[in-house]
Structures are given as structure tokens and as C-alpha cells.
Amino acid sequence: MADRKSSLNIPAQVIRRATLLSDQSLVTKHDGSSHGEIIDDLLSVGLDTRKSAGNTTEWDRITAPAWAGNAPLSPTNPLQDRMHFCWHTLLPCSTKMLTSKMIADHNDAIRSNALTNYKEVLIAHSKSAANIIYLTLDLSVKEENYNENFSRELMELFTLGEINGYTQDDVTAGGLAMTGWFANGGAGVHSGEFRAERSYSGNVTFMGENKKWDMDSIINKLLSMEQTAKFMSSRIGFHLTGVEFTDAKAEEIGKFWYGTDYDIKALIKKLFTDPDLQKPYYSRARTGLEYYYAVHKAAKLSDAYVPEKGDPTLLGQAWWHPPSVGGWPPEQWATPGSFLWRGNFLKKIDFPSLGLDEILDRCGLYQLTDSTYDKLKSIPADDSKLLWMVAMSSMEFNSI
């Protein structure tokens, strides 16, 4: 590996993983700092209390998603932006059948809790109108007409992991117990509401216990199981560090997080100071939006994020448009198709005319493979566009 500026290697790794913009002013600010020192500084920043645009009852699927996409481009708390994006990928929702207020409310609820506690995040997400409609809780009524959609995803994706500590009987019982939730913009209901007359009022047997269960008690029960901390810390850890946890590491980190009662800041500090998770220096591929934000900052682009069309969508990822309830699969970002999208995106950019060293600094590339560095140095110094494109097409820039 070629070390261009070794004292910036650690800051560059932490900033590109813990933030979305990979702001090089933050990298140079922490010149020579340790992983822990940098994370402590990021965690000390006050919360961004801006409210989402689009808090209206109109059938507008553009304004609130656009606000979510543009917030990281003018960051107040870069780590909060990263964690809002993290939760949006792990607990996704779609704009389908939502009013603007439903989307804006979900933006605000998740952003305000993004660095607090996973219980708060999960409850805010679960009771939101966006989730109620996306996972058809609004159609789950009493014992005659209930469904298991949310119950299954709650256990499979948001707490325990697929077929890990629960049975189909638990899914069925959970679906019945969590009837009664409602949201319907056409009926003038733009927030999640519980309506007792739509719910099943009897007992069910969930996790071996027969009693009157509801959404709060089911979530509390799932969070009381250490498997939830193990599974979700592994998912969050992969998002932030790009490292697939071994069983031993998942056990270790999960046990730690469970002991903090799901404190998000404590988990972030643990993840970024664990030596096992600092290797390799470059790990998973950047997602479409991560790539978009990194290019946007490095090239100092001025155009705003636009949902449902434009560059982010062409890069395969847009806020509020997940391909499924499981979010975006990580394997889709390291494919020939994704690199073709990224190359086409770069071709349209009017890059500033800069030398190789400044381009690499802007891109946060302080450590490069010898082959990448040799390729870049072989390009004529006056061909700035090609230097930009090769740097941003490199394995290093495409990874976190």
C-alpha cells in the first residue's frame, strides 16, 4: 500500500465510515488523532433539530424525501446524518400510499432518536403512519381479518433475525396481538393511531407466555432477549464498519450493547474503537447514496438531491424507495452494473481542474494500493477530468 499522508489514515477511515460526506476538513481537523478521539468529538456535537419539510396533508411524495436527501449536504451533525441513513436502510419505508406529513413525521422521529436508544428508534418506526401502511398494519383488523406482515418483519429484520429464537406460532400470535393500528390519509388520518375497536381483545401465547399482548409489550419482550442485541448490533456494525461479524464477535458486541440497554452512542464508540473492526482499511462497497454524497462533497457540486429521478436513482438508491422490506442488499453495490452507473454519473460532472495530489486529498484517498497509485501517476498531469474519474472509479473510493 502507498501511504501518502500516514497521519491522516485513521481520520480518513473514521470520517468516511461515520459520516456521509467524507468531509476532508473533518479529516484534517483530526490529523494524528486516534479512533476513539475522533468518535468522541463526533459524538459531542449537538443534535440537529431541523424539522422535515413537507409537513402537510397533501399527497406529495417529493418534498419530504427530498428534504431527507438534502439534509446531509448541509450537515449540522454529520454522525446524526449517517445514523438517520443507517436506520433508513435497516428499517426502511416506501412513499407508496403516504401523504407528505406521514413521510415528514417519520423523518423527524427517526432523526431525533438516531443517536439515543434503539428502543426509541424501533417504537418510533413501528408506530409511524409510514410503517403502518408500508407493512399493512392498517389492514390488520381483529381476529377475522388480521395479517402477520409486521409481526414477521419485526422479528426477522428488526430484532431477532430470521428463524432465530421465535416460531411461526409467535409470528401468528404477534400479528393477532398487534391489530388495531390505523393510518389513512384519505380518511384524514396522517399519524399512526391505535383504535381499540379494530383490535383483538383476547389473550395470545407469545414466546411461551399467555396473556394480553400489544405492540409495546411485544417490542419490550423482544428487546429483553439478548439475541436482539446480537443480531442488530451485527447489522449496524456492518453498515458502519463494513466488517462481517464472526459468531464470536457478534456475541461479544451484542453482549456489550445489551448491557448498555441498547444505547446507540455506546455502541458506536464500541464499534469504532474495536481493533478487529478497523481491518481491512477498506471494507464493504459504498452504496449508491454513499457514493453520491462522497462525489458531491469531493467535487463540490452545487445541485440538490432530487428523489425519484436524477443521479441518486440512477445510482441504484434513493431515499424512501427501498427495493423490499429488507432494504438494499449489500451485494448489489459491487457489480459491473453498479460500476457502469457510477461511470456514467462521473462523465456528466464538470470537475474542477486540479492536480493529482489535491484530487486525492478531496477524495480522502490517503492510502492507496500500489496499482491504483501507479495508474493515477501514469495519467498526464493536465488531464484533470481523467484523474478525477480514475480516482473515483478506484476500489478505494468505492469502499468505506
pLDDT at 202: 97
Q: Going by C-beta distance under 8 Å and a sequence separation of 6 or more, which residues neighbour residue 187?
A: none
pLDDT at 314: 80
* Alpha helices (runs of H) in 247-383, residue ranges in sequence order: 247-259, 264-273, 288-298, 311-314, 336-347, 356-363, 370-377
CA separation for the pair 261, 269 (Å, rounded): 15
Whether the predicted pLDDT of 249 surpasses 90 = yes
- When pLDDT is averaged across residues 170-175 and rounded to a whole number, the result is 98
CB 370 within 8 A of CB 2: yes
Q: How many CB atoms lie within 10 A of CB 324?
A: 9
Task: Assess whether the previous peptide bond of 336 is cis (omega < 30° from 0).
Answer: no
DSSP 3-state assignment of 210?
strand
pLDDT at 266: 98
What is the pLDDT confidence band of residue 297, given thresholds at 50, 70 and 90? Answer: very high
CA separation for the pair 196, 371 (Å, rounded): 65
- When pLDDT is averaged across residues 380-395 and rounded to a whole number, the result is 98
What are 115-146's pLDDT values in tens digits? 999 999 999 999 999 999 999 999 999 999 99
pLDDT at 286: 97
Residue 255: all three cell numbers together? 453482549
pLDDT at 201: 94
- When pLDDT is averaged across residues 185-202 and rounded to a whole number, the result is 94
CA separation for the pair 329, 314 (Å, rounded): 16
Q: How many CB atoms lie within 10 A of CB 298?
A: 24
CA 362 to each of CA 35, 163, 293, 348, 379: distance values in angstroms, whole numbers, following the listed order: 21, 45, 13, 19, 18
The fraction of the chain above a pLDDT of 70, given in percent, is 99
Residue 210: all three cell numbers together? 399467555
DSSP 3-state assignment of 190?
strand
Q: How many CB atoms lie within 10 A of CB 123?
A: 18
- Closest of 257, 265, 269 to residue 37, by C-alpha: 269
Residue 305: all three cell numbers together? 438531491
- Locate cell 481491512: which residue? 280
Q: Going by C-beta distance under 8 Å and a sequence separation of 6 or more, which residues neighbour residue 280?
A: none
Q: Going by C-beta distance under 8 Å and a sequence separation of 6 or more, which residues neighbour residue 30?
A: 10, 11, 14, 15, 37, 38, 41
Residue 99: all three cell numbers together? 401523504
Average pLDDT, the chain: 96
What are 56-109's pLDDT values in tens digits? 999 999 999 999 999 999 999 999 999 999 999 999 999 989 999 999 999 999
What are 36-70's pLDDT values in tens digits? 999 999 999 999 999 999 999 999 999 999 999 99
Three-state SS string over 97-130 comes to CCCHHHHHHHHHHHHHHCCCEHHHHHHHHHCCHH
Phi, psi of 105 (to 5 degrees): -60, -40
Whether the predicted pLDDT of 252 surpasses 70 = yes
**Amino acid at residue number 16:** R
127 class by beta-carbon count within 10 Å (0-12 exposed, 13-18 middle, 19+ buried): buried
What are 298-345's pLDDT values in tens digits? 999 998 998 766 677 789 999 999 999 999 999 999 899 999 999 999
pLDDT at 22: 87
CB 84 within 8 A of CB 147: no
- Strand extents, DSSP E, the chain: 2-3, 181-184, 189-194, 204-206, 209-211, 367-368
